[in-house]
Amino acid sequence: MTRLARLSRFFLVGSILLASSDACLASGYFTSGPLPNDLRERLDTLANNGVPIEGVCFDGAQSWVTLTPNEIRSGGPLPQRMVNYIEGLKSNGRLPRAVQFSGDGWYVLDEHGGLKIEGHPLPPDADEFIQGALNGGSRLQSVSCNRNGWVVVTDRAVKTGGAVPPNLLAKIQEFSQRRIGIRSISLAPNGIWVITTK
């Protein structure tokens, strides 16, 4: 593995990668390909109105979730037990801060750091990194995976594993060099990704 490949797979950050920057809009998002029309409209509306996009999750087809500091919205069919769990959080005055769903399962991270997992949505090496990061005092911001690879964003690092698309690795490195803060990364089963920025 080349030095560049190693750097592309794990970005420790401190004040570099995840610090806010004048080079980044407060509510920006970047995508590698086409999104469902209603998801793109939702993201554009949030970005144009200056609403911070906390997270995005989508299945590469029609199902999606967006998270802002005060609201969760979705489109398409979602796992019913996940929807029930989110509704339970909301009825207790809590909002999810990260969501991931796939055919293998789902997880929801709440605003107080609680993590609910059902099924097997995460590969073992991603789960190991998450547990180590949480035990080390990091704040989990987003987790996303498809059948080929995964990406985890904490307040201190972006970690990838498996076969993550090269254009996503290049964008993470570009943002690191430009000191643009990454808030979340969503990786769909078809390889399309969305990055939200601080």
One-letter-per-residue 3-state SS of 11-49: EECCCCCCCCCCCCCCCCEEECCCCCHHHHHHHHHHHHC
Q: Please, are residues 145 and 121 in contact by the beta-carbon 8 Å criterion? A: yes
Q: What is the pLDDT, as a whole number, of residue 121?
A: 67
The edge-to-edge listing of strands for the beta sheet with 105-110 is 96-102, 105-110, 115-119
Q: What value does the mean pLDDT take over residues 45-63? A: 89
Q: What value does the mean pLDDT take over residues 171-197? A: 91
Break the chain down into helix, strand, coil percent, rounded to 5.
Answer: 30, 35, 40
DSSP state of 7: H
pTM: 0.81
Domain chopping of the chain, boundaries: 3-197
What tens digit of pLDDT does each residue of 112-159 get?
767 788 886 678 898 889 888 888 988 888 888 888 899 999 888 899
Q: Does residue 16 surpass a pLDDT of 60?
A: no
Q: What is the pLDDT, as a whole number, of residue 22?
A: 29
Average pLDDT over all residues of the chain: 81
